[in-house]
């Protein structure tokens, strides 16, 4: 899934699978009254404002 950007972003700056798994687990722990219609996951950096 990252082949299209590997020449522009070094692997150490990419979002790790573990980070996404931790986020998914945290969402499952929310109350049944909580609604999460959308999640945006972005790398920190100069273009964070675009999110």
Does some domain include residue 4?
Answer: no
Instruction: Express each pLDDT in 3-18 by its tens digit.
Output: 787 788 888 888 888 9
pTM as predicted: 0.62
48 or 44, which is more confident: 44
Does some domain include residue 6?
Answer: no
28 or 42, which is more confident: 28
The number of domains in the chain is 1
Does some domain include residue 20?
Answer: yes
Q: What number is the average pLDDT over the span 28-37? A: 92
Does some domain include residue 38?
Answer: yes
Does some domain include residue 2?
Answer: no
Whether the per-residue pLDDT at 31 is higher than 90: the answer is yes
CA 6 to chain centre: 17
Does some domain include residue 28?
Answer: yes
Q: What is the pLDDT of residue 11?
A: 80
Does some domain include residue 41?
Answer: yes
Domain enclosing residue 25, as ranges: 11-50
């Amino acid at each position: 899934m990252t082949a299209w950007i590997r020449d522009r972003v070094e692997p150490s700056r990419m979002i790790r699978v573990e980070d996404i798994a931790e986020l998914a687990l945290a969402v499952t722990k929310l109350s049944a009254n909580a609604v999460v219609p959308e999640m945006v996951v972005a790398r920190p950096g100069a273009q964070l404002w675009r999110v």
